[in-house]
Amino acid sequence: MLSNSVIVEDMETSAPRTARERARAELTQEIKTTAKRHLGEQGASSLSLRAVARELGMASSAVYRYFPSRDMLLTALIVDAYDSLGAAAEIADAAERRGDLSGRWMSVCKRVREWAIENPHEYALIFGSPVPGYIAPPDTSDPATRTSVVFLGILAGVETVRVADSSGGSTSPELGADLDRIVALGDESITRPMMMEGLAAWMQVFGMISFELFGHLNTVISDYEVHYRQQCASLAVRLALTDSAADLC
């Protein structure tokens, strides 16, 4: 997975030999950076090529030398966002001792929220409402999985026997197959009940971040950070990453 991302970055940033190539790489980046800023002021669906060009002091038609259409620019932003979040999660995970599962979990959770707060518009771009009429091309799905692979890696270290089966034994065959398929992604042996808990935790994490960023808790919670940390610590216990949440807060 890591090697995969390196390849992507290679194509974008490395080996700009001639001045022309260097200039092109730089302007491509500048256009994306400006467009990212505009996302916040206008929202994804009304991102304007002309406005971006105007801010960069160039003719609107010049942007077409870099992106063949507005939708392609949007796609580039989405891919970048997934990649940026994925890289942040990978780094946070790698900073902890491999055996310290709860430490890795807390570190990744913390970093994901930080990333969202630092890049609210990009977070909204990938986790908010889909841009209507826009259909993500297949090349977006690969960087999208980076973050969840990190998460699966942490789960894989758990003695999954310790997670009880709370399904009541009535899992549908279809859902069972789904769970097995996710497990196979990580190439590890995770039990189905464990996978259900993992999915639940994952969705709760993004639910919490979305609620915070989209303002659904504005009049409810004031100390978002402490709340988030405690909830993540509870999740660590539930996922059997540790015995006690006390030392995580």
CB 73 within 8 A of CB 67: yes
Q: Which of 88, 89, 155, 248 binds its own copies (CB under 8 A)?
A: 248
DSSP 131: P
Q: Which is nearer to its own copies, 58 or 144 (CB)?
A: 144
Q: Which is nearer to DNA, 20 or 97 (CB)?
A: 20
**Cα–Cα nearest to 35, from 43, 132, 129:** 43
Cα separation, 98 vs 5, in Å, equals: 21
Total residues binding its own copies (CB under 8 A): 64
CB of 131 to its own copies, least distance (A): 7
Question: What is the distance in angstroms between the CA of the first residue and the CA of the last residue of the chain?
Answer: 31
Q: Which is nearer to its own copies, 66 or 214 (CB)?
A: 214
* Other C-beta atoms lying within 10 Å of the C-beta of residue 47: 21
| C-alpha count within 13 angstroms, C-beta hemisphere, residue 95 | 13
CB of 114 to DNA, least distance (A): 31
Q: Which is nearer to DNA, 63 or 248 (CB)?
A: 63
226 binds, among DNA, its own copies, none (CB under 5 to 8 A by kind): its own copies
Give Cβ neighbours of residue 92 (< 8 Å, ≥ 6 apart): 107, 108, 110, 111, 112
Cα separation, 148 vs 199, in Å, equals: 10
Cα separation, 234 vs 249, in Å, equals: 10
43 binds, among DNA, its own copies, none (CB under 5 to 8 A by kind): its own copies
Cα separation, 215 vs 222, in Å, equals: 11
51 binds its own copies (CB under 8 A): no
Of 74-82, 105-113, 128-136, 155-163, which segment contacts its own copies by CB under 8 A?
Answer: 128-136
CB of 23 to its own copies, least distance (A): 32
- The binding track of 5-34 with respect to DNA, each residue x by CB under 7 A or -, is -------------xxxx-xx--x-------
135 binds DNA (CB under 7 A): no
- The binding track of 60-99 with respect to DNA, each residue x by CB under 7 A or -, is xxx-xxx--xxx----------------------------
**Cα–Cα nearest to 39, from 31, 23, 59:** 31
- The binding track of 187-206 with respect to DNA, each residue x by CB under 7 A or -, is --------------------
219 binds, among DNA, its own copies, none (CB under 5 to 8 A by kind): its own copies
**Structure-token match 């059997």, residue found:** 240
203 binds, among DNA, its own copies, none (CB under 5 to 8 A by kind): its own copies
Cα separation, 86 vs 66, in Å, equals: 25
